[in-house]
């Protein structure tokens, strides 16, 4: 009779251990996907940064400051040809500086974007209109499939 009771206790213990492992795995997955604030919340921002750094016309650096409510964006030519940037548009606000960028070269653009407090997040759509100088000044429009995601700074 004692052997039977021991096996019953062992089964309950195994059940509780398996349940605990499932709960821990679920919490890890939720944290990575950003479901819990403060745990994995910047996964979207990291994915955005990775996407924009490697885009055909990349955004390699950007920050939005609360002092002056200014979004500063560094655009990089990731192509093998020289490009003339006609306009960079962030959420319907355009900067038309007409910079000529050799392969690997960068240009900086600024936009007036509200940032209420440091730590607030932002998400902006980005479109770049450019001419490929080495392809007979052919006009191209590149609209990102991901938003530019970041956090306001001081």
Residue 131 belongs to domain with CATH number: 2.60.40
In this prediction, residue 6 carries a pLDDT of 55
pLDDT at 32 over 80: no
First to last CA, the chain: 71
Q: Check whether residue 50 and residue 34 sit in a common domain.
A: no
Query: Cα–Cα distance between 106 and 150 in angstroms, integer?
Result: 20
- What is the SS3 assignment for 29? helix
Number of domains in the chain: 2
Residue 34 has pLDDT above 80, yes or no: no
Give the DSSP letter of residue 133: G
Say what the pLDDT of residue 39 is.
53
Question: Same structural domain for residues 4 and 37?
Answer: yes
pLDDT tens-digit readout, 67-107: 778 889 999 999 999 999 999 999 988 988 888 999 999 99
- Residue 36 sits in the same domain as residue 48: no
Q: Residue 83: which residues within 8 A CB-CB, separation 6 or more?
A: 57, 77, 100, 101, 130, 131, 132, 133
Structural domain boundaries, residue 5: 1-41
Do 58 and 101 lie in a common domain?
yes
More confident of the two residues 101 and 117: 101
Give the CA dihedral 72, 78, 82, 86, nearest 10 degrees.
-40
Asked which of 8-22, 31-45, 116-130 is least confident by mean pLDDT, the reply is 31-45
Nearest to 88 by CA among 73, 100, 77, 103: 73
In this predicted structure, the answer to whether residue 112 has a pLDDT above a threshold of 60 is yes
Give me the pLDDT at residue 7, please. 62
Please list the residues that pair with 112 across neighbouring strands: 70
Structure tokens at 67: 């002092």
pLDDT of residue 40: 53
pLDDT band at 20 (very low <50, low <70, confident <90, very high): very high
- Looking at the structure, tell me whether residues 54 and 125 fall in a common domain: yes
């Amino acid at each position: 009779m004692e052997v039977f009771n021991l096996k019953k206790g062992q089964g309950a213990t195994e059940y509780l251990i398996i349940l605990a492992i499932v709960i821990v795995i679920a919490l890890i997955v939720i944290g990575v996907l950003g479901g819990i604030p403060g745990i994995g919340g910047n996964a979207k921002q990291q994915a955005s940064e990775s996407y924009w750094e490697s885009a055909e016309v990349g955004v390699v650096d950007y920050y939005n400051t609360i002092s002056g409510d200014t979004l500063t964006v560094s655009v990089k030519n990731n192509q093998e040809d020289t490009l003339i940037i006609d306009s960079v548009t962030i959420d319907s606000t355009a900067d038309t500086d007409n910079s000529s960028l050799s392969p690997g070269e960068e240009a900086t653009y600024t936009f007036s974007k509200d940032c209420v407090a440091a730590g607030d997040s932002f998400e902006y759509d980005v479109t770049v209109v450019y001419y490929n100088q080495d392809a007979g000044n052919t006009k191209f429009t590149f609209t990102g499939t991901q938003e530019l995601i970041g956090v306001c700074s001081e």
